Amino acid sequence: MLTPPEIVDVPAVPAAVIEIVVARTEMPRVMRPAIAELLGVLQAQGLRPSGPRFAHHLEITHEAFHFELGFPVEGTVTPAGRVRPGMLPAARIGRAVYTGPYPGLHAAWEAFDDALTADGWTLAPQVWEEYLTGPEGGGDPSTFRTRFNRPVSR
pLDDT in tens, 28-77: 899 999 999 999 999 999 999 999 999 999 999 989 999 999 999 999 99
Question: Is residue 82 exposed (0-12), middle (13-18) or buried (19+ Cβ within 10 Å)?
Answer: middle
pTM beyond 0.85: the answer is yes
Q: Is the pLDDT of residue 78 over 90?
A: yes
Is the model more confident about 68 or about 140? 68
Among the listed ranges 7-11, 99-103, 112-116, which one has the minimum average pLDDT value?
99-103
Alpha helices per DSSP H over the chain? 27-44, 105-118
Q: Amino acid letter at 149?
A: N
